[in-house]
Structure 1
Amino acid sequence: MDEDIPMDASELKGKRGIRRVINAFGYSLNGFAMAWKNEAAFRQEITLGAILLPLALWLDVSQLERIAMIACLALVIIVELLNSAVEAAIDRIGTDHHELSGRAKDLGSAAVLVSLLLTLYVWGVILFERFSHLLS
């Protein structure tokens, strides 16, 4: 086996231990900055989260309900970041229309929609159960 060829991908990264953790944190912050700069949907979802997160912390709900509400907000951001990563990778390959590229982008978009619908459902059920007495 050639001694110059790394055994696995982790050898290509070059950093280990705390230096790797520090670098990974920096890359993550860079990812957030790039998403904010280049992705309108990310900015919209962060804005929505900035409104709903304090509301989730303020509302008189159980701890488990609060965790579910916040977890759904986080899930939307996670899925949006992954969708944006897929779109960027596809766009790097080329901007020409290709069925598989379109499918990948549509699947990512569908994942974001599912996360948003889940958030709407969880928040709706919790708010309705907690505050339905105000409607009667």
Structure 2
Amino acid sequence: MKLKFRLAYYLFGLTLGGMLVVFIFNKRGQDFCYLPNCRALKNIREKGIIIKEAGKQQLSATGVTQNDIMRSLEYGDIDFSKSNVPHAGGGKLYVIEGRTAENEPIIFEVVNYSDRAELLNVKKK
């Protein structure tokens, strides 16, 4: 059998198998979250973010809502050059860049502990 026919059979089988896998895993609610940014944001989302009184004051002063923070935890980007730094108390500091509902850029800092995540600082760009 010639090489081009082998390649055609291989690509046909690969495509068919890939489609089958996508249909099976989409029904189970699985998502692709293996990249570092996605994994860190998912970890913070699953723990839930705790906003203390100082964080609430910063939220009201900047005009950023809790929904903006949660949306940024879903679609935001972590600046790893400033993040993953040990923080006092055993957690790690993450600097997350996101956007508000009005599409204004925001930057906030979250300390990710083993059992919780706390909002430290919020500012608009």
Alignment TM-score, normalising by the size of structure 1: 0.30
Q: Which has the higher strand share?
A: 2
Q: Which has the higher helix share?
A: 1
